[in-house]
Structure 1
Amino acid sequence: MRTTIYILSFCLSMSLPFVVQAQELIQGIVFDKETKQRIGKVIITNLNQQTEFYNNVRGEFKISPNPGDVLVASRDGFNSDTVVFDQQSVILFNLKRSIIYISEVNVVARKSPEEILKQEKESFNKAYRLADPGSLFSVGQTGAGLSISSIYNLLSKEGRNARRLTEIIERNYQENFVDYRFSPDLVNNITGLEGDMLRRFMSNYRPSYEFTRAANQYELSQYIKSKYILFKLNPNLRHLPALPVIKMDVNN
């Protein structure tokens, strides 16, 4: 009986360090692999113990793993990272972004499309006044009547020419807006294309003004990536340009 007690005591004394070790809280931190900044709201999963929890906003967490436990850190927008616990004093996860966001770069020396449009409106102020005849009716001391100046602006050759000019300015603004967002620098950063291949890609897959106006930076980047996949299938393919819309003015 006494021998049995000695054996049990010996077994308990040998297993105690492992029990204590299993209950010890180990600190950990989650980093962005590229920027080295800490990442919060990451799910930490212990696959062996079937437990999971979030780290804090500073990217830190505490966990009680057993030696050999497989730990996984995961978050939307990042590839998961896996660590096998081998009695490290600190557990470090490094998550790599699965989606690359490219921020817009504002070049100080380059005017925005809005600035160019504003400048042209100021330069051609008279044309804009003639292009917009205003209300055809006027109210005077003798009552309501037709506005002679508005009718003149609407029907005169000078008024028609002014409207043509403002339409050209508006089209130029739309083209400048597409150029501003769908820039060679942006396409080069995403695709790596340069020189003639870059110019060919941008000519073949130039987005419309409506899409460029509505799309955010991520959507525009995804558009370029999808078109680049098509471009790589046949880089020498040249798209025919769209037929121009011709407006006939029979009164001129």
Structure 2
Amino acid sequence: MSIKKHLSYIILCLLAFTTKAQQNTVQGIIYRINTSTRIAQVVVTNLRTNTVMMSDELGIFTIKANPGDTLLFDKSEYADLRHVVGSQKEMAIYMRLMTSTELEEVKIKGTTKQQELGEVMRDYRGQGSFFDGKPPALLFLMSPITGLYELFGKTPGRARRFAKFTKAELEQNEINRRYNVEFVKRTLNINDEEAGKFINYYMPSYEDIRVWNDYELIKRVKRQYQYYKVNKDPLRVNPFQVKPADTARRN
């Protein structure tokens, strides 16, 4: 065999090896540590490629990854886990439930804004604005002056407006906790700028966030992004011209 043929053979082998490496897929089962309990709906992220998958109801996951890639396993009430992919194509992952102290720290961080807003509402009540500015009918019989003050007074009006603002703030805070630039970047494998533009286009409602699990949220975001990619040029010209995918599908 000539040198030229030898080189051609070597190049073909290298190409075949590279293609195989690029298409490598690993799978595994996720357990609660020290038990045989499997964990469903764990978000699995390849930190190199930003590919995102989720474990099924049996705790089984499949994701594209090469040896040396780091996988991030994330689920509420469990401590985040990072695992470096080795040569094995099948793996067992063991996640640890957070301690009560760790859960309390997470809870404290998430409720800081709620506490701050609650303190302001208590200040309003301290000024005489009781019942969040919505007095029960019985209050007029018990104390007509207080009842009229609650209904028509300036402070109760401000309290009602602030209560409405508080509700909107807390709902938006809950949306931002799950749907944010980092989540969108990781789910769609896009950069900061593109993620920001997409978030400006699509924002799930509080009701959606409240009922969707992580798998449903990822599925909806991917579907909305496909629609956004097709229609983002018309959107740039007239943002009211194109409806979100869910709305367009219903119409």
More helix by percentage: 2
* TM-score, with structure 1 as normaliser: 0.49
Q: Select the structure of larger CA radius of gyration.
A: 1
* TM-score, with structure 2 as normaliser: 0.49
